[in-house]
Structures are given as C-alpha cells and as structure tokens.
A and B are shown apart, each in its own frame.
Chain A
Amino acid sequence: MESVFKKLSLTSATLILLLLTSIFVVLFIYAKPAIDEFGLKFLTDPRWGVTVQVDTPKVDKQVATTEQVTDEMAQNDNLQTEDLLLDDSSDNSDSLLTDDEDGSTANTKEVYGGFVPIVGTVLSTILAMLFAVPIAMGIAVFLSEIAHPLLAKPVGVAIELLAAIPSIIYGMWGLFYFGPLVSKYVGGQSVSLLVAGLVLGVMIIPFMASLTRDSMNTTPAVLKESAYAMGATKFEVIKDVIFPYAKQGIIGSIILALGRALGETMAVAFVIGGVFTFPKVVTDPTVSIPVVLANSFAESSGMSMSALFYLAVVLFVLSFAVISFAKFYFLRNKNEIFNK
C-alpha cells in the first residue's frame, strides 16, 4: 500500500511534466504543416489568408520549392502587399471563404503570416504595462506604507478581490463603456489597440498591485525603523530601503503580470477590433494572437488551422520564456508570490 501510493504520487507529479511537454509537442505537430510551409518567415509576414499566384508552372514538385516560391513571392509582392492587406482587412471572413475556393485551383496558394497578431500582442502588452505599472506601484506603496492599517486592510482586500474578477468582465466593460469614452476623447474607433492596451492594463493592475504590496511587506520593520530613526522621509525610506530590499520580488511581480497580459484573451477580444491590419496610429484597430485564436479557430481547417496552431506555439513559447525568466531570475526562493 505504502509503495503503491508512493508510486502513484510520483506518477501524478510526473504528469505535470508530461502535460507541459505534450502541450508543446501536440501544438507543434498540428502546426507542422504551417511551419514546413512558411518557416520562420511566418513571424515577419504580415499577410494572413492571402491568395497569391504561383507563377512557376515548370516546377511540378511544390514541396521541394516551397522555400523558393515564398521567397519569390515576397519579392514580387512586396509592392502589392500594402494593397492586399487593406483589401483583406476590409472583410476578413469573406476573403477566407474565397480563399478556400481558390485553394483548389493549381496556380494559387494561400499565405499565412503571423506578423500582425504578434505585433498586436506585443504592442497591447506594452501599452498595458505603461499604464498599469505606475498605478500598480502607487497602489502598492499606498497600501504598504502610506495608508493607515485600518484603511489598508479593506482596500487591500478589495484589490485582491478585483484581481479575481473574470477577465471577460473587463472586456465587456471595455466594449460598452470604456471604448466609446476613449473614442470620444482621444479619437479613433471604440475598438482599437489603445483601448485594448488600456483595458488590459486595468485588468492587471490589481494583480500586479497585490503581488507588489506583498513583496514590499517582506521588508523587515527594523530596517524601515532604523531609517526613520535617522530622520529619513517616507519617500526616502521607500526609495532607499523598501525598493532595494524588495526589488527582486517587485520586478518578478511586474514580469508575472506581463506574462498574464501577453496571454490574455477575453479582456482584449471585445476591444481590439480583430482585424488583420497594422495599426498606423495607436487608435487603429488590430488583432492579437489570443484574439485570432478565439475568433477564427472554430471556422478554420487545413492550412489556416495549422497556421493558428503555429500562432499558438508562438504565444506559448513567448509566455513560457517570460514566466521562466521571471521565475528563475527574480523569484527564486520567493515562491510565495506565485500563490495568488
């Protein structure tokens, strides 16, 4: 019995390794056709589901020449890309349908590239961080150093509870209230990169603030007291004692929140626009990887499906890298921070 249970427990723990590996492997297998077809150029190709002419009739083995074909295509189409993009974005679902029909004819093929959603993901995350970091730091400092304990306790509880609100709620609020407001005062549409970034920022504020506050609270009281005893002001104590002491944990919290923003779907899906265009200005609509997955997955098949899996791989690797980075460089021995 004892040894049975011991083995069972080892198996369960190993299941985690197995799960994570199989997520990688399965996503990769499903993405394989797209990876073979587009290679790493996928990452920098802004075309999604664009039908292009294959004007090399002499070559009948397509597989062997895939690379050359895409290369040529890129050169030939460089000038037209801009137009294609605009056409495509104007009505995405329509072009997908026509693509399917065109796909059967011998001399055309569809090109998928992830550049737009990748850029959209990165930009919306950066916007979110620019907005959230100062506010979250302010809240954390307020809670751990400024507010009277009688106030800090309930406000802290409120912040923790807000961190637990499902992200789809943030998305809805963005769609119905915040987006129109931004559009009215800043301009642009009510769905845009800017709105998406800000909503994402609002969403991660409570998460980041409560983690940061927890890190700050690990500063031993004696350290603070001895600084105050030397006549330091509150700001000086925060700057010279608390920040240096809790630096690792604070940076870790910020990166962890960044990881959450990168992979967030629902807070963004309502408000980013979901169109495959480069945002020329920040108030233009665009798309992010999770949103592409959420919106197009159900209707996809074949190469478009595979391309979506390729995007999923990119997202997974990206967030895996970010989280591992936070974990190994900043949150070593400070594991409690993950327990939120």
Chain B
Amino acid sequence: MRFLINKIVLGLSILAALIGLVFLFWILIDLTIKGVGAIDWHIFSNDLVNNGLRNLLIGQFMLALTAVVIGVPIGMIAGIYLQEYSYGSKYAEFIRNLSDVMMSAPSIVIGVFVYAIVVNPVGHANGWAGSIALAIMMIPIVVRTTDDMLGLVPKELREAGIALGAPKYKVIFDIIIKAAKVGITTGILLAFARIAGETAPLLFTSGNSQFFTMNMNQEFPSLTVAIYNLATMPDENLVKIAWAGAFILTVFVLLINLLGRYVIREKK
C-alpha cells in the first residue's frame, strides 16, 4: 500500500513536470516558428514606418542601456553601504527589506509613478522617462546582488587591505569589488536582461516612435511597446513584425541570461 501511494504520487509529480514543460516548450516552439518565419533582412534595415524593426531594436537597447548607466552606480553604491558601511545596523536591515519588496513592485505602477514625476511635468512621453522607469526597476536588483556578492568576500581580505594602510574606500574598490566581480557582473547582466524585456513601465513613459531617433527628449522607439501595439492590429503584416520582434527579444534575453548564469560563472 505504501509503495502504491509512493508510485502514484511520484507518477503525478512527473506528470505535473511534464505538463509544465510541455506548456513552456509549446510557447517556445510557437514563438520560434512564427518568429523565424517573419524574420528577413528587410526587418533589420528598415524602421517601423517602413515595416521594419531597426529603430525599435536600437531604441529598446538604448533605453535599457541608459537605465543601466543610471541604475547600476546607484544600486552598487547602495549595496556597498549595506555590506561595508552599515555594520548590520537596524537601518541597513530596513533598507535591505524595502529594497527586496521594491524588487517585486508591479512594473506598471513604476510606469505610472514615472509618468507622474517626469512625463506629466514635461508634457509628453520621452526616452529619459522610459529609462528612469527601467532604472527604478533595476536598482533593487543591483542592490541585492552587490550586497550578496560583497558578503561572500572573506573579511580577512578587507583586513589585509586595511593592515597595509589603505583607506577603506580604496580597499572596497581595488580589492573587494574585484574579488566579487564575477558575481556582480552576473547579477547586472541578469538585471539588464530583465529590464530589456519590460513593456509595462515603458507604455506611458517612453511611449513609442515609428522613426529612428537618438534624441531621448522625444517619444522614443521601444520594441516591447511596439509589439504590444502591433500584435492586436488587424493587418497581418504588422502582426508578423510583432512576432519577429518578440522572437528577437526572447533570443536576446535568453542569450544574456545564458551568458550571465552559465558562461561567466563557469569560467570562474
């Protein structure tokens, strides 16, 4: 009897795993079929006005990259505070928890917030607003990674630096961060991949643009926002473009993830 129950439960568990995996691969297969079918050279050499993705791909990348430039220094320095300067104070623990909670805040709410503080005063959607929204999403992830990874560096390394007469901030930048480099880089790559695929925080911050632009003061082309708009269009052709964009986005995000999770980590 026990053995029967055991068999049944294990069978159910394998079944559940199978169902889950079937669903997930189903998605990937559909995406690949539709996406690969829709990709051609035209898409990469034309902007959205001419049924291409060029401006969207570059725009999305720019938005995410700018977010990295804003979010990573802030997040890292805050993480350094938590690990190196707070000495386990209550305040640091509080900030740590807040940051974790913020990591799970609904992304659309971040978009609404940035709309209120940037888009509304400026009067129109613009690239900076989009990047700020993405940066706000990114900061808690970077804080967390930095905090965790610095925490793995043995305290003797800090003491050895200090014992040579180095000021603490020098020890942190020359030694501790270097020692934690692999982990922090991985974390930042994963954070980048995560925000690069975001749509909701961009909807009313960056908006979208049909044209190629590098001017972040204007409405800015966003791949994800475009996919959202195009996918529900009645025009077959536009839906095709949306699939192509979705496929490219997924491949990009997965590659960055692979790079961060497995390549860099293995190299260590």
Let me know if chains A and B touch directly in the complex, using CB atoms closer than 8 Å: yes
Contact B6 A234 (CB under 8 A): yes
State the interface size on chain B (CB cutoff 8 A).
Answer: 93
One of B2, B6, B82, B203 near A13 (C-beta < 8 A):
B82
A17 adjacent to chain B (CB < 8 Å)? yes
CA distance A324 to B258 in the complex (A): 31
Contact A27 B116 (CB under 8 A): yes
Contact A206 B108 (CB under 8 A): no
Contact B101 A327 (CB under 8 A): yes
Residues of A294-340 at the interface with B, using a CB-CB cut-off of 8 Å, are 294, 297-298, 308-309, 312, 315-316, 319-320, 323-324, 327-328, 335-336, 338-339
Contact B23 A202 (CB under 8 A): yes
Residues of A within 8 A of B131 (CB): none
Stretch at the interface among B11-19, B43-51, B153-161: B11-19
Would you give the 0/1 interface string for A24-39, flagging 1 where the beta carbon is closer than 8 Å to chain B?
A: 0011011000000000
Most chain-A CB neighbours within 10 Å: which of B13, B94, B99, B232?
Answer: B13
B58 adjacent to chain A (CB < 8 Å)? no
Stretch at the interface among B174-182, B209-217, B245-253: B245-253
A139 adjacent to chain B (CB < 8 Å)? yes
One of B14, B21, B204, B224 near A166 (C-beta < 8 A):
B224
Contact B98 A309 (CB under 8 A): no
One of A14, A136, A166, A202 near B95 (C-beta < 8 A):
A14
CA distance A202 to B23 in the complex (A): 7
Residues of A within 8 A of B193 (CB): 164
Residues of B1-41 at the interface with A, using a CB-CB cut-off of 8 Å, are 2-3, 5-6, 9-10, 12-17, 19-21, 23-24, 26-28, 30-31, 34
CA distance A205 to B80 in the complex (A): 33
Residues of A within 8 A of B15 (CB): 138
A138-B14, A166-B253, A315-B109 given as contacts; is B231 within 8 A of A16 (CB)?
no
How many Å from the CB of A150 to the closest CB on chain B? 16
One of A6, A135, A263, A309 near B116 (C-beta < 8 A):
A309
B140 adjacent to chain A (CB < 8 Å)? yes
Residues of A within 8 A of B203 (CB): 294, 297-298
The 10 closest A-B pairs by CB, nearest first: A138-B16, A263-B106, A166-B197, A9-B81, A233-B6, A142-B17, A12-B78, A265-B200, A12-B77, A13-B81
A-contacting residues of B (Cβ < 8 Å)?
2-3, 5-6, 9-10, 12-17, 19-21, 23-24, 26-28, 30-31, 34, 74-75, 77-78, 80-82, 84-86, 92, 94-113, 115-117, 136, 139-140, 143-145, 148, 167-169, 187, 190, 193-194, 197-200, 203-204, 224, 227-228, 231-232, 242-243, 246, 249-250, 253-254, 257-258, 261-262
Would you give the 0/1 interface string for A130-159, flagging 1 where the beta carbon is closer than 8 Å to chain B?
A: 000011111101110010000000010111
Residues of A within 8 A of B6 (CB): 233-236
How many Å from the CB of B222 to the closest CB on chain A? 11
Chain B's closest residue to A262 (CB) is: B106
Contact A10 B143 (CB under 8 A): no
How many Å from the CB of A198 to the closest CB on chain B? 9
Chain B's closest residue to A175 (CB) is: B231
A26-B117, A173-B27, A297-B203 given as contacts; is B77 within 8 A of A9 (CB)?
yes
A161-B258, A262-B106 given as contacts; is B10 within 8 A of A26 (CB)?
no
Q: Dominant SS at the B interface?
A: helix
How many Å from the CB of B196 to the closest CB on chain A? 8
Pull 9 A–B residue pairs with CB atoms less than 8 Å apart, ordered by A: A20-B102, A142-B13, A206-B20, A269-B228, A290-B200, A293-B108, A294-B228, A298-B203, A308-B112
A169 adjacent to chain B (CB < 8 Å)? yes
Contact B139 A172 (CB under 8 A): no
A276 adjacent to chain B (CB < 8 Å)? no
A15 adjacent to chain B (CB < 8 Å)? yes
Residues of B within 8 A of A67 (CB): none
Residues of B within 8 A of A134 (CB): 16
How many Å from the CB of A252 to the closest CB on chain B? 11
One of B105, B136, B169 near A319 (C-beta < 8 A):
B105
Contact B112 A166 (CB under 8 A): no
Residues of B within 8 A of A13 (CB): 78, 81-82, 86, 92, 95, 143
Residues of A within 8 A of B110 (CB): 23
One of B17, B113, B144, B167 near A339 (C-beta < 8 A):
B144
Contact A16 B78 (CB under 8 A): yes
CA distance A258 to B70 in the complex (A): 30
A1-B167, A290-B200 given as contacts; is B250 within 8 A of A165 (CB)?
yes
Contact B112 A27 (CB under 8 A): yes
Residues of A within 8 A of B168 (CB): 2
